[in-house]
Copies of this chain bind each other. A is one copy, B any other.
């Protein structure tokens, strides 16, 4: 039942979904509460009750983003490589969430809900990284940061349209050999063009 009366039913979700949609299309800068309200068919001030202010809405977006990321990483399996690819895939398929998550200035980054969700995502990421060193000698303490950096950098550059042409349409597939380079370096002669 949509709603024909005063109460919307699930305005919170409606706002959240609309925000993700608008941000995904036009970026965070183009998102206005009034536009979201228009899409939901409610007054522009309706969001105040659910989110407080605009930063509150974006806090919810970031929160949801961390949950979704944790989920995606967990489902990626045990291979570090797959976890890395999943990270890139997440960034591209959820660019709105991703964009918000890593712009702490946009939302209440210190809110307890966000901290908790971020913690869970961090554990999921670390879970993938934990399997990494076993494959290839003793681990460097810098390996986790290196792995996170390379996948995050790839994703960010891809989203910004900064990477050179010719990498294809599938960011995950394009990222795989790049990530491989971080860990299979001594194995070069053996690792061919694993397609």
A residues at B contact (CB < 8 Å): 26-30, 102-106, 109, 136-143, 145-146, 148-154, 156-157, 160-164, 167, 177-183, 185-186, 188, 193-195
Contacts and interface: CB of A to CB of B under 8 A. Distances in A.
Contacts of A140: 177, 181, 188, 194-195
A119 to B, nearest CB: 12
Contacts of A179: 146
Contacts of A142: 177-178, 180-181
Contacts of A104: 160-161
14 contacts: A103-B160, A109-B161, A137-B188, A140-B195, A142-B180, A146-B179, A149-B149, A149-B153, A151-B153, A181-B182, A182-B182, A182-B185, A185-B185, A185-B186
A112 to B, nearest CB: 17
A164 B144 CA distance: 10
Contacts of A167: 145
Contacts of A152: 153, 156-157
Contact of A29 (B105, B157, B164): B105
B149 A145 contact: no
A149 B162 contact: no
The 6 closest A-B pairs by CB, nearest first: A153-B153, A186-B186, A149-B153, A185-B185, A152-B153, A149-B154
